[in-house]
Copies of this chain bind each other. A is one copy, B any other.
Amino acid sequence: MLHAIIMAGGSGTRFWPRSRRHRPKQLLRLAGESTMLQQTVARVEHLVPPDRVFIITGEDQAEATREQLPELPARNIVAEPAPRDTAPCVALAAALVAARDPEGTMIVMPADHVIEPVDAFRTSLRVATEVVDADPSALVTFGITPNRPETGYGYIERGDLVETRQGVRAYRVRQFREKPDRPTAERFLAAGTFLWNSGIFVWRAATILEAIAEYRPALAAAFEPIRRALGTPDESRVLAEHFPQLERVPIDRAVMEHAPNIRVLEVPYNWNDVGDWRALATLVDRDTDGNAIQGHVVARDTRDSILISDDDGIVATLGVDDLVVVHSGKATLVARKDRLDDLKALVEALASAGYGAHL
């Protein structure tokens, strides 16, 4: 049977001050009427029934996550005792699925992406499950056709074409590449064989557990006590004791870069991991002065800025360019757009200055 695993951790630094420790990106209505998490669940609702949708989140966000998803069984919302990147998260999810359904297939996807149109996404998921049904040893990932030399994403170079299903081509993988510099990204775009690494996967639970055991044996061994405790009265205690000790490593590096039987589906939909306020700005309409605006904003002689206020607040600007201005609750951020990469450091400075209550 098909299961969906939504990875909904994340601290939300990059959307401060709208995002907070207890309200990270995926719990926000950043783009649209529902939150990114709700949109992610809705994206699979025709493919997977609610009792087979699992959310892996952090303890700080578990309560808000349950509130946002009342249609899901409460036990399907699982809190990691500590964030350990995606490989331990995937291991936990796969063990949960395998315990219920030893031959179960799972979709793994982050809770904080924007994907449109959703029909094309669902088609690609159906194709991926067909690939896995036909070859249970396959690990399927999704590569987005790039339309610009983006330096903020990882890339997958596709290899030989294996098959085409429902118009979607499945390739072998030649290599995974970390975020490139600009000349490299331009070369990737020109080559036509590099795809954005979406971080979305489809595989059998048993297969990914075997792959972790093969390519990251220490992680698999350290995880083993947790796997055995699942469903027992000891589950919570063992999880709290062992999970924070697991190696902090992404599933790409732990498994995908090593396993032979990877398939990358080249998919045509618009995909955006909404990494920071600039990415959000690409999702909303611009005014004639190039400003991306959300909420109540009056902008006078203001250009190329991202201007955001919460429902009940207001932002007024006068004679400024290339800024990000966010008024959220009791906090205001004003940053040059090209300095947003330092927002994490600013948030750390706020914590150091004793303003943890605003984070």
**B-binding residues in A (CB < 8 A):** 16-17, 296, 298, 300-301, 309, 312-320, 323, 325, 327, 330-336, 338-340, 342-343, 345-346, 349-350, 353, 355, 358
In the complex, the answer to whether A346 meets B300 with C-beta atoms within 8 Å is yes
In the complex, the answer to whether A320 meets B323 with C-beta atoms within 8 Å is yes
In the complex, the answer to whether A318 meets B342 with C-beta atoms within 8 Å is yes
In the complex, the answer to whether B346 meets A314 with C-beta atoms within 8 Å is no
- For A17, A316, A345, the residue with the greatest tally of chain B CB atoms inside 10 Å of its CB is A316
Q: How many Å lie between the Cα of A301 and that of B334 in the bound state?
A: 12
One of B319, B332, B345 near A300 (C-beta < 8 A): B345
In the complex, the answer to whether A301 meets B339 with C-beta atoms within 8 Å is yes
Query: How many copies of this chain does the complex contain?
Result: 2
In the complex, the answer to whether A320 meets B332 with C-beta atoms within 8 Å is no
Q: How many Å lie between the Cα of A333 and that of B75 in the bound state?
A: 45
Residue of B nearest to A16 (CB): B316
CB distance from A4 to the nearest CB of B (A): 37
Interface contacts beyond A296-B355, A315-B334: sample of 19 additional A-B pairs, CB < 8 Å, sorted by A: A298-B353, A298-B355, A300-B342, A301-B342, A309-B332, A313-B331, A314-B332, A314-B350, A314-B355, A315-B331, A316-B334, A316-B346, A316-B349, A317-B333, A318-B334, A318-B336, A318-B339, A319-B338, A327-B331
In the complex, the answer to whether A319 meets B298 with C-beta atoms within 8 Å is no
> A349 — which chain B residues lie within 8 A by C-beta?
298, 300, 316
> A334 — which chain B residues lie within 8 A by C-beta?
315-318, 320, 323, 325, 334
> A17 — which chain B residues lie within 8 A by C-beta?
316
> A316 — which chain B residues lie within 8 A by C-beta?
16-17, 331-334, 346, 349-350
